[in-house]
Structure 1
Amino acid sequence: MSVIHRNRRLDRVFDSEVQRILDFVGRGIGVRIIGAPGSGRTTVVRNVVANLEKTGMAIHFISGLRTHRSIPYAAIKSLGLELRPGRSGVMDMADALASQLSKPGKHVLIVDDIHLLDNESLAVLESVRRRSDCPLIVTAPDSGPISRGQLAVMNSGREALLQLDPLHFEQVHTLVTQVLGSAADADTTARILTKSGGNPRLVVRITETAALSELLIMRGGQWQMTGDTLWNDHLRGTLEALLADLAPEEVTALHTMAILGTARVDVLQKVVQPDVLEGLERRGFLSVMDDHHNGPIAAISPPVIADYFRGQKTLRDRHLLRNKIAGALEGVPQTTQGNSTTADCLSRVLASLRLEKGNDDAVTARHFHDHSAARERTRYERWQANKSATNAAALLRVYWGAPVNVMRATRVCQETSTLNGDPNDILFLAITKAFLAIYSGQGVNTAVDILKGFAEHNPEQASTAEAAVLFINASHGRVAPMPEPSAEPQQPALPGLEGLVQSLLELYRFRPDAVLSLTEKAEDDDTFPHLRPFLHGLALFAAGRIEDSLVFALDWRAEARRNLDQFGVVASSYVAALGLLYRGYFEEAEYLMSSVFAMGRPGFVVDVLYDAMLRLAGLRHATTAISPSLSIASQARSEVPDVGPLPGIGKGAHELVAAETTQPSVFDRLAVKLIKRQMRSGYILEATMTALLCTCLCPGAPVLDLLRKILRDSGVTAHDQMMAVATAVVEGDHKLLGLLLKHYELDADNYQIGMLLRGALKRHVLEGNTAAAEAMAEASSMFAARFPSTNEQLSFNTFRTTPLTEREIEVAALAGHRSNVEIAEHLGISARTVENHISNALRKTGATSRNGLFILVGNSMAAR
């Protein structure tokens, strides 16, 4: 329809939702799209219309308007029905619309904002729905009562439900990039997500108005905030429209909550009527979550609404509200809840993670921020009153995990008196000074000098300081080679931090069994309270015990979230993300990492893990044809080495996968070069993970030989089945491959083997080896039949240098199992046009057959 225009900013964000609706409509099933105001309901419908128009389907579009709700027949008359004079009743209009729907061809009826339709129009639609089996697409809010008239229209015929949830970090990153023309940094994206609550309309408006108000400026190729706020007066109209349907008592309640801030529900009920709170929660303006310390808490959602009320200049009302709040909160008792954690099974922790996925990242992130800010403010005031080492350590510990105030941290390090201080606090202060030197760009040498100077003046703690030096040198340079085994009796494990640092080096060297033997017995260290569980979870992952690692890490993460421990959340999420990605749980992994990104860049000890997760999150993006400028990995710091101690900390692996390489031989050469650099640095675990990824994406002999050597030298046997399959694939022994796949016993590498077979298939197609490609396709199909997986198979998309058009991809995706005539009928174009599209796609991709072309485009269509 000519009156509908696509919002290109939101197109890519809602690709999967639009495709799901098209699939339902293609099978004659109607769709109900529900979501909060600003969630993108109308945008999704407009994109559906644009796609359906390409197929030649007749579209009958009705849009509900708030101002026309009380005007009889206002909505139905927008269709421009041809009526006989004097015949304008419900049945007359129903006859005219039913007549249009009965014309030859395919029809679809679309109603945007059905809750705003007048009763007469609903009556017409109910009558038409009883006569026609035309699929109906409607949009409606996800809260509030549904009238009988609306139900009568929606509940006729088959219907699917599509819920539009708040956007997560990666989607917000994509949308902000499209609005601004280039990416914003991670902190800016996190702030926009936090303030908007993931609401697409608010994401766009906050971004646009912040740029208009010069609250965002371009620095170093990225948009960054110029201050600590994104609120500006240009947002006022957007917020007023969002709040337009609220009752006066609900607006007053939001105003009260804006003054009070995040608060316990029992506290809110003292100043706001419970039924008003329930109404706000039902409408989506109030988010409730559990707080391990204080019980259920509530906050305004989206959080930018609180900025709107705080920015109002109605001082008299605010004074009255403040007095009311102060009087009601006198003597409110504090409550606590018990603490319990369990480690049960993978299905339980995955179910908990998927249930959490429906929560609001923005509210959770704001709660973490409020808690950290309150702790930081209180401890800083305490330090100002008494600049002791104990008070300094308490404050600086906040900065290890929560966002850093560099100027304040530097001042504390410089002005704190260590006279008569606790030795452990003084040691913590010295280690923090070293980390802060690295974080502020002074370099590793400066950090090492700080610790060596401390060791000289405090010989009784020299061994612990030397362990910290070893930790810093190994994590920012290279790991010393593993000592040769000797005939002397094995030395007992070192205590405390010294032992944990030695275990960390063993992890870098890819000796997980040695790490597990210590971490299963050792206790948490006071200086590095999260180092032991971090090592234990990663050692389980490195040893091939992926499920054990996931259960351990996700339980740890759940406990850290309950304790509002950002350090623990970031560290546990990194371990869990590795396991989820290894098993192909991409949606769960992306949500988990998105929840970390929403909190903004963390403290200076775990910020490298934050960057690592940005690169890990960009791996799937790197295998697609989407513009690299939209990749979430672009928000990670670029001034880092290619190799790092753990997967993702070095940028080399991501850049290798994201590089525009179309020849498998070139990819092999670059991969071998990177893996050898990782091995020379002593980062054998990272080299192993890189070699595994490269072998599965594009299996080749040079990388496989390196991987085989690493596993043999490390004594890790968990991947033996996959290595046997990979060897048969690379050597082209299809008979042996068939036997191996037939007798394969399910293990942690199930997903990797499926990816390996798909990668080999694509490699043979690119190299023009038709016979090998057919054999690999058969093997891949047999394995998929034995072990069906709902997870998307990660594999290279080969269209980076010679991109296909959208129509060429659509045709190629059907070329493997349909004739030109069938494709033409499906897409509503001529068979000659289909033939031209296939010829162009074969020329651009280098594929030698229709089936080969179908295989090559399979990855780009997999998510759909």
Structure 2
Amino acid sequence: MSLDIRIGQLGVLGVADTLTGRLSRPGERVLVVDDPEFIDPETLAVLDSVRRRTKRPMIVTMSESSLYSKRKPPVLSPGPEARVQLNPLRYEQVNELLTEILGAPADADTTACILTKSAGNPHLVVRLAETASLSDLIALHHGQWHMTGDTLWNEHLDGTVESLLEGLEADELTGLQTMAIAGTAPLDVLQQVVHSDVLDRLEQRGFVSVIEDVHNNVCAAMTPPVLADYFRGQRVLTSRRVLKNRITRTLSAAPQEDHVASTPADSLTRALSALRLERSSDDAATARHFHEQISALERHRYEAWEAEKTISNAVRLLSVYWGSPLDPSRIERVFSRTTTSEGDPSELLFLAVTKALWALYSGKGLDLAAAALRIFAKECPEWSAEGEAAELFLVASHDRMPQNLDEIFARLQEGHPHSAVIACIRGILELYRLNPSEALKAIDSTAGFKGLPRVESFIRGLALFSSGRIEESIVYALGQRTEARRNLDQLGMVSSTYIAAQALVYRGHFDEADYLMGSVFALGRPGLLVNSLHDAMLRLAGLRTATTAISPTATLATQARRETEDVGPLPGTAKGVYQLVAGRPLLPAVFDRKAAHLVQQQLERGYVLEAVHSAMLFSCLLPGRRTLELLRRTLKEHAATSHDQLVAIAAAVVEEDHPLLGALLQQYEPDADFYQVRMLLRGAFKRYAFVDDTIGAAAMERAYAMFATRFPSADEPLAFNSGSYSPLTVREIEIAALAGHRSNPEIAEHLGISIRTVESHISNALRKTGTPSRAALFDLVRETSPFREKRLSE
């Protein structure tokens, strides 16, 4: 209310009268009470009295563990009641909160680490960020916050953690200390070192999270994970070495069960239901489990390599870095000190490919990456064809597709008809140029290549997506992701999630796609092979915000690498599409020209799959003749017929043939492009409204309403925000900008026009925007003025 209104001055009834008066004002008003168990009796009496007198809704917040707290919440007067579960913050929410707290966005690794350590608790997110900046554990560089080391723990967090632990019994503290040493462990094993009653009490208080491990065992871990950093501090553990040794012996003897492969869902409905059920799980707990297991695996394999620096041990270690975060010093050490004289050719090829990927990852350039593969081809002439194929993959992915690809593969496979390496690389490149059937044919001719983990499933899932079998690709990719999640396979998690997210967004399931991508972002930036897919998902996650925000805003796309090119081999792996959509050229003709130019670049580089999906997105967001013609021609050249209905409807929109459009919509049979058709009709309305074509806009509004009536859907089509595509003319905007602080005669004199003309323009602007007053119209125009200035300059 304010500091000058206090119970001591007015008494309980006086404050209740004041608050009742404020709540009785016109408008929707509610009472919000945070943690009522800490409220003093006098304030509680005020709230109870006001609630009885005003009948206003009251929102009361309390922690989940309040049922088990010794401090009971007070009893208020009875009234309507609803219990709402507030889930922990997701990755994108943590990123938004960090931007607000720190004044600039954090990079992917910093965001993931803070999410993991805080378990999505907003208070801990803020404390971790603030104390890390105070302790120089994060630093601002090129507009982003980056971690300066590998930890966020600092002495300023001691008080925060101790306040969380306040009120715990001695055996509960000991239990948490034990769990900090044990890490994530099977529940039946953990009960051997922590009494089950103590575990129950800790879980009731919210300090234990439960997940399933790779062997289907129910595992438990401490939450939030920042508590483990506190208990693992040297000052805490120096007197606990006997306990630590006992725990280590117990856990090392834990029984292991054979892994049972999971069965993918056999329908989209089942797959999405399983995904929505998974959304109730804890991203932070899963991410921590990944980190712990992968870190242990990497440490074990590095120690094995240190003991015996053979090519086999090096390959086992480097395979971890293909999908999971890598240690630059270790990878350089492995490259320089591994004994290669007795290595198997397949292992030497894997080492050469890893060197090439590392050269690209660390910014050393494509030439140096290709040189590593040429050296291998010289040293292993019998495997020179595989080495050349690997070089071809790098060049095609980071430069352009060769013109004579068929001739090259015919030559390479002539002496190696059953080479899995060549077959897998051909499968990927066939996807680049939109030949999904040839991609499947390539991988079906081989049993697979163990040096390219999960590449066959990636090709198969993306081939389903690119051939228009969207539902099948979602089901398949989600099944592969479930298996990868269970197997703690970060490479598989990233690659399968990329396919599933692209397909889900294509069908309009943005919430499910956002969850999937957030679960991958929580793991931190991945390793060498799938880094570009991680960037693609960051841009995809920011796409909806970029289109719907009234003014330019920071999105997760800011965490993607900035040094990448505008054009890439797969949808979203390059930054051009996102930048064009986020930049939003305001004239439809300008948007079409820039979109067509970008699609033409993609086609010239041989990236047909990216070009087709970019052109479809652009054509649906803001239909344009140039972009549509490129799309239509490309699909025809590749005999792709799965988008025929969409292209025909788009052509009718662009040609402004409203009778044909109506007939096509009446004849339309729902297919994989159903969501795209809705986007197209909404985008067509925006296109007409922006150029002040009220007749065309009304026709598109009728077409959209007819389509929505015939095919109802709860999914809102992706579209540019009306704030950026205002139907106002330049003169109406100019007058509206003056209407907030000048009268009609003053505006008329300033612009040299009649008062009647001013009145007419203001009346039209109010009608077009739906604003209730001159002041509201002025506020709307003021919010969108940066866009208007850009429009006039263009």
**Which residue is 1:557 aligned to?**
481
1:227 is paired with a residue whose SS is coil
Question: 2: CA distance between counterparts of 1:383 and 1:585?
Answer: 45
Query: Is the Cα contact below 8 Å between 1:482 and 1:509 reproduced in 2?
Result: no
Question: 2: CA distance between counterparts of 1:330 and 1:575?
Answer: 38
Which of residues 759, 773, 786 is equivalent to 2:710? 786
Query: Is the Cα contact below 8 Å between 1:292 and 1:339 reproduced in 2?
Result: no
Which of residues 302, 306, 310 is equivalent to 1:384? 306
Which of residues 154, 166, 174 is equivalent to 1:244? 166
- Per mean C-alpha deviation after superposition, the further-off stretch among 761-770 and 371-380 is 371-380
Displacement of 1:247: 3.2
Question: 2: CA distance between counterparts of 1:801 and 1:232?
Answer: 48
Question: 1: CA distance between counterparts of 2:197 and 2:426?
Answer: 58
Relative distance call for 1:115 and 1:750 in structure 2 (3 A) is farther
> Are 1:171 and 2:93 an aligned pair?
yes
Which of residues 334, 349, 357 is equivalent to 2:256? 334
Question: 1: CA distance between counterparts of 2:306 and 2:25?
Answer: 81
Question: 2: CA distance between counterparts of 1:446 and 1:178?
Answer: 41
Query: Is the Cα contact below 8 Å between 2:584 and 2:591 reproduced in 1?
Result: no
**Which residue is 1:24 aligned to?**
none
**Which residue is 2:471 aligned to?**
547
Which of residues 612, 618, 624 is equivalent to 1:694? 618
Which of residues 689, 703, 713 is equivalent to 1:765? 689
Query: Is the Cα contact below 8 Å between 2:131 and 2:156 reproduced in 1?
Result: yes
Letter in 1 for 2:102: L
1:162 is paired with a residue whose SS is coil
1:313 is paired with a residue whose SS is helix
Question: 1: CA distance between counterparts of 2:133 and 2:687?
Answer: 45
Displacement of 1:152: 6.4
Displacement of 1:602: 1.0
1:299 is paired with a residue whose SS is strand
Question: 1: CA distance between counterparts of 2:722 and 2:20?
Answer: 48
Superposed, 1:484-523 pairs within 5 Å as: 495-520=419-444, 522-523=446-447
Query: Is the Cα contact below 8 Å between 2:110 and 2:146 reproduced in 1?
Result: yes
Displacement of 1:213: 0.9
Question: 2: CA distance between counterparts of 1:403 and 1:840?
Answer: 47
**Which residue is 1:258 aligned to?**
180
Superposed, 1:51-90 pairs within 5 Å as: 80-82=11-13
Which of residues 280, 290, 305 is equivalent to 1:358? 280
Superposed, 1:206-245 pairs within 5 Å as: 206-245=128-167
Which of residues 554, 576, 579 is equivalent to 1:652? 576
Which of residues 74, 79, 82 is equivalent to 1:156? 79
TM-score by length of 1: 0.79
- Per mean C-alpha deviation after superposition, the further-off stretch among 793-802 and 550-559 is 793-802
Question: 2: CA distance between counterparts of 1:339 and 1:436?
Answer: 32
Query: Is the Cα contact below 8 Å between 2:690 and 2:725 reproduced in 1?
Result: no
Which of residues 460, 463, 477 is equivalent to 2:399? 477
Relative distance call for 1:772 and 1:151 in structure 2 (3 A) is farther
> Are 1:707 and 2:638 an aligned pair?
no
Displacement of 1:124: 8.6
> Are 1:679 and 2:603 an aligned pair?
yes
Displacement of 1:130: 7.0
Which of residues 290, 301, 304 is equivalent to 2:212? 290
Query: Is the Cα contact below 8 Å between 1:270 and 1:329 reproduced in 2?
Result: no
Displacement of 1:570: 0.7
Question: 2: CA distance between counterparts of 1:445 and 1:265?
Answer: 51
**Which residue is 1:813 aligned to?**
none
Give a deviation string over 1:380-400, Cα, whole Å, max 9, x none: 111122111111111111111
> Are 1:279 and 2:201 an aligned pair?
yes
**Which residue is 1:588 aligned to?**
512
**Which residue is 1:139 aligned to?**
61
Displacement of 1:310: 2.0
Question: 2: CA distance between counterparts of 1:684 and 1:380?
Answer: 41
- Per mean C-alpha deviation after superposition, the further-off stretch among 494-503 and 334-343 is 334-343
Give a deviation string over 1:60-117, Cα, whole Å, max 9, x none: x9xxxxxxxxxxxxx999995327xxxxxxxxx99x8998799675663433223445
Which of residues 558, 561, 565 is equivalent to 1:641? 565
**Which residue is 2:120 aligned to?**
198
Letter in 1 for 2:364: Q
Give a deviation string over 1:177-228, Cα, whole Å, max 9, x none: 2222112221111111111111111111111111111111122332211111
Percentage identity across paired residues of the two chains: 51
Displacement of 1:578: 0.5
2:309 is paired with a residue whose SS is coil
Relative distance call for 1:412 and 1:840 in structure 2 (3 A) is closer
Question: 2: CA distance between counterparts of 1:631 and 1:686?
Answer: 22
2:325 is paired with a residue whose SS is coil
Query: Is the Cα contact below 8 Å between 1:668 and 1:703 reproduced in 2?
Result: yes
- Per mean C-alpha deviation after superposition, the further-off stretch among 242-251 and 311-320 is 311-320
**Which residue is 1:665 aligned to?**
589
**Which residue is 1:728 aligned to?**
652
Give a deviation string over 1:547-596, Cα, whole Å, max 9, x none: 00000101000000000001101111111111011111111111111111
- Per mean C-alpha deviation after superposition, the further-off stretch among 378-387 and 321-330 is 321-330
Question: 2: CA distance between counterparts of 1:332 and 1:315?
Answer: 23
**Which residue is 1:841 aligned to?**
780
**Which residue is 2:228 aligned to?**
306
Question: 2: CA distance between counterparts of 1:76 and 1:550?
Answer: 60
Query: Is the Cα contact below 8 Å between 2:183 and 2:221 reproduced in 1?
Result: yes
Query: Is the Cα contact below 8 Å between 1:697 and 1:755 reproduced in 2?
Result: yes
1:630 is paired with a residue whose SS is coil
1:236 is paired with a residue whose SS is helix
* Structure 2: segments with no counterpart, 5+ residues: 737-769, 786-794
Query: Is the Cα contact below 8 Å between 1:295 and 1:336 reproduced in 2?
Result: no
Give a deviation string over 1:817-860, Cα, whole Å, max 9, x none: xxxxxxxxxxxxxx9973431365368769xxxxxxxxxxxxxx
- Per mean C-alpha deviation after superposition, the further-off stretch among 789-798 and 674-683 is 789-798
Relative distance call for 1:331 and 1:637 in structure 2 (3 A) is closer
Question: 1: CA distance between counterparts of 2:387 and 2:352?
Answer: 9
TM-score by length of 2: 0.86
- Per mean C-alpha deviation after superposition, the further-off stretch among 748-757 and 112-121 is 112-121
Question: 1: CA distance between counterparts of 2:74 and 2:648?
Answer: 58
Question: 1: CA distance between counterparts of 2:249 and 2:431?
Answer: 57
**Which residue is 1:7 aligned to?**
none
Query: Is the Cα contact below 8 Å between 2:12 and 2:45 reproduced in 1?
Result: no
Letter in 2 for 1:554: L
Displacement of 1:282: 2.9
**Which residue is 2:2 aligned to?**
2
Displacement of 1:323: 5.2
Count of residues in Structure 1 that have an aligned counterpart in Structure 2? 739
Query: Is the Cα contact below 8 Å between 2:68 and 2:205 reproduced in 1?
Result: no
Query: Is the Cα contact below 8 Å between 1:197 and 1:360 reproduced in 2?
Result: yes
Displacement of 1:697: 0.5
Query: Is the Cα contact below 8 Å between 1:101 and 1:134 reproduced in 2?
Result: no
Letter in 2 for 1:424: S
Relative distance call for 1:162 and 1:225 in structure 2 (3 A) is same
Question: 2: CA distance between counterparts of 1:79 and 1:233?
Answer: 44
Displacement of 1:244: 2.0
Query: Is the Cα contact below 8 Å between 1:570 and 1:610 reproduced in 2?
Result: yes
Query: Is the Cα contact below 8 Å between 1:401 and 1:605 reproduced in 2?
Result: yes
**Which residue is 1:859 aligned to?**
none
Relative distance call for 1:104 and 1:629 in structure 2 (3 A) is closer
Question: 2: CA distance between counterparts of 1:571 and 1:732?
Answer: 41
Query: Is the Cα contact below 8 Å between 1:294 and 1:334 reproduced in 2?
Result: no
